[in-house]
Chain A
């Protein structure tokens, strides 16, 4: 990827000496697919050819109602307070960011006049600032103009710890300044290759300054508009009942032509995923339902009715098994899984290798996740330019046995392998969730055949994922040998996703187990790759660093990828939802329409 020839060609395209098509054709000749070639161009800093979704309606409105069914309803409508996607989805109907993500992980301008790039002068060459030009003539639902002051205010609002905004992480380390009424500049302390976090997608939704200015800081909860959003979005607020219903009506002054298509919109909340799938796919009572965590078998059966179908979007969500590198059974200074210990079994790389050989990902996909999963060997599965081609996986009990035999793990009288008096007994924990318990069973069975005894444990999700310091069963304490869950990738950039395994983030008693490196894995080479990537502004080199980091994790068997999970929604046949695996389902709601 880094060879000079490719570089020269990318530069030629940049300078206009070679056109995009010629480049793509040359790449095809090298055996690369066309999307891959455009990705390389994008990585190389050449702006993507804007391929907006083909939006067919030729006039605003007239589409009747759009009825969405979320089996967990939005509980609040201030995007800065949103605790989960349900809340973000609800507020996104009314509030808008400067730009959103499309299906391929490219930015689409919403309130921005254009996407900043090096070519248009939006991105500083040193990677330390981004200049956003705002769309002129945009009005809030109450008629006030939208300006750079609003954007700057949102930064001030969110970064104030007293506001208790959940987006504080996005805004606390940046500086935002107003250049003129329609231009803002975001300044970073360090060169920041991934600059599209603040003011982008759901965390970037912008509140009107004139309604929230008085409620910055400790009074944030009292703002009357927390429950009555006034935004710039395609729909105007009508009604909100927490956990039950969000209703909006068309914004006749919306700033995009011919949009939105629907006259009214509602998100109904509550119930369960299966009946939500029924209400869309089988009876057509609702148009779209979100997050169909339903067995594929059931969905296939429902789809036979023919009123609706499931829709899949690919992001980077990964279901994986993490291995504990410390000893969960030895207590040092009141701390189990302490950094001062080493895992008695996993300190032998052969055991880790064998374990990776015993995860039958194909069976998991076939019997559990179906169309909503892909098998993978890597922890990092997107966007395309960051995906390693060097990793591979295999399921083979014989090979696992061979690896263990060679390393000196011999079967004992009870069939369980042991070495130096240590038996291959492993505690495998996960949260309570149908598919996870089934996966556990599949793994346990294969391990048994290879002479590894697996004890299964499942913890209620609310405990497993809690940050309660007093509870021993949280995933971050990791008082087990291996554990499995899903880490979602919330943006099309691997920085946050990969950073967590850096050795400076190990979870310990000292940091109240808030560190995100719960396998407590320490690898100098990986740390170096992450540090290098985070300081690297050249997109091609940066991608190479992340690929390397992913490969180190794979070689060291820190995590065993179980399934690359796709997002599943259900839509009636006539609906044309615009979805992306890289963002919330409603992030491009202005582009949704219906076709006869």
Chain B
């Protein structure tokens, strides 16, 4: 097991190198300039912008810049943001808790909805419950998050005035009130992300469950006289969860991507909004670092999914 993980991690190194090379090249080829804002400002003479470019090494050839970035990264130096002149790792770490809190809650919400609903729908296919769940799931994943986000804001913030729609990363209250405020402001973004995720996951859980529930061993279990709930939970669900785990694990990094839009709408100071604002201001070191973190997450969650398989289905062995 340990050997397997080690081997997988070693394989990840060349793929991450390749990813970083592609990312860097694309960013270097993309037009734009971190000092664009200075150009129309008559207070700043053009030579200043030019000397800043030179100072930050923007005028060097792409391969020199890549090698410089790579060697710095290897030593744990993520570089510094051109825009805020702050270390990139600090910027990312500052944003991480919020992203994990919001995305994590959304993912948990999605699972809490999808698994029971999907399993229940599969046990009674084409019943009224199944039909309703299906319809809602279709609606859920047809509506993009930017639309549901705005819709929620219109209903819950503007019309009903129940929830705030500007996310504040630090709340001045303490104790219970602090917790309450944190939950209150996260309700809308978590709902938007969670329901969207839940919709597609429900469909997935349902079909995975349907596949398993017709298998002979389930019938055998029933014939043994086991109760319905025991058969479903212990025998059918455990097997049905294998594809679901893959889906969830592979969706984790994608959720970070999906959160970009939601974070922008609700002003959540997460990694997604950091990425957007860095792209808009052509802050290459930050864009590079964030996309690279995404790449690492994809690799990491793939590994986690594979390890989880073994736990769910001991027949799968690690070699």
**A residues within 8 A CB of B83?**
75-76, 83, 242
**A residues within 8 A CB of B169?**
241, 244-245
**A residues within 8 A CB of B267?**
268-271, 275
Structural contact, B31 and A471, CB atoms closer than 8 A: yes
**B residues within 8 A CB of A75?**
81, 83-84, 277, 281
**A residues within 8 A CB of B251?**
none
Contact partner of B42 among A168, A486, A516, CB < 8 A?
Answer: A516
Closest to A243 in B: B277
- A170 to B44 Cα, complex, angstroms: 8
Quote the shortest CB–CB distance from A219 to chain B (angstroms): 12
Structural contact, A69 and B52, CB atoms closer than 8 A: no
- A118 to B41 Cα, complex, angstroms: 30
- A443 to B55 Cα, complex, angstroms: 42
Q: B158 interface residue, CB < 8 Å from A?
A: yes
Q: Given A83-B35, A161-B51, A466-B36: A282 and B269 within 8 A (CB)?
A: no
Contact partner of A490 among B43, B48, B165, CB < 8 A?
Answer: B43
Main secondary structure of the interface of A (DSSP, over half): loop
| Residue among A285, A487, A512 facing the most chain B CB atoms (10 A cut-off) | A285
**8 A Cβ contacts from B51-94 to A:** 51-53, 55, 80-81, 83-86, 91, 94
- A462 to B41 Cα, complex, angstroms: 14
Q: Given A166-B38, A270-B269, A271-B267: A466 and B44 within 8 A (CB)?
A: no
Structural contact, B273 and A285, CB atoms closer than 8 A: no
Q: B37 interface residue, CB < 8 Å from A?
A: yes
**A residues within 8 A CB of B183?**
none
Closest to B269 in A: A244
Structural contact, A76 and B47, CB atoms closer than 8 A: no
Q: What sequence of 0s and 1s flags, for each residue 480-504 of chain A, a beta carbon within 8 Å of any chain B beta carbon?
A: 0000011111110000110110000
Interface range for B: 35 or more
Q: What sequence of 0s and 1s flags, for each residue 71-101 of chain A, a beta carbon within 8 Å of any chain B beta carbon?
A: 0110110100101100000000000000000
Structural contact, B86 and A467, CB atoms closer than 8 A: no
**A residues within 8 A CB of B280?**
462
Contact partner of A241 among B38, B47, B51, B269, CB < 8 A?
Answer: B269
Q: Given A76-B85, A241-B269, A512-B50: A468 and B33 within 8 A (CB)?
A: yes
Structural contact, B269 and A169, CB atoms closer than 8 A: no
Closest to A505 in B: B46
Q: A247 interface residue, CB < 8 Å from B?
A: yes
**A residues within 8 A CB of B47?**
514
- A268 to B273 Cα, complex, angstroms: 13
- A242 to B166 Cα, complex, angstroms: 17
Q: A227 interface residue, CB < 8 Å from B?
A: yes
Closest to B283 in A: A75
Structural contact, B170 and A239, CB atoms closer than 8 A: yes
Structural contact, B170 and A242, CB atoms closer than 8 A: no
Return the 6 tightest CB-CB contacts between A and B, nearest first: A514-B46, A244-B269, A466-B33, A75-B84, A496-B42, A462-B32
Residues of B within 8 A of A (CB): 31-33, 35-53, 55, 80-81, 83-86, 91, 94-95, 153, 157-158, 161, 164-166, 168-170, 172, 264-267, 269, 273-274, 277, 280-282
14 pairs of residues in contact across A and B, judged by CB atoms under 8 Å: A76-B86, A169-B44, A221-B85, A226-B86, A241-B169, A243-B273, A264-B172, A270-B267, A271-B166, A271-B265, A275-B165, A461-B36, A468-B32, A497-B42
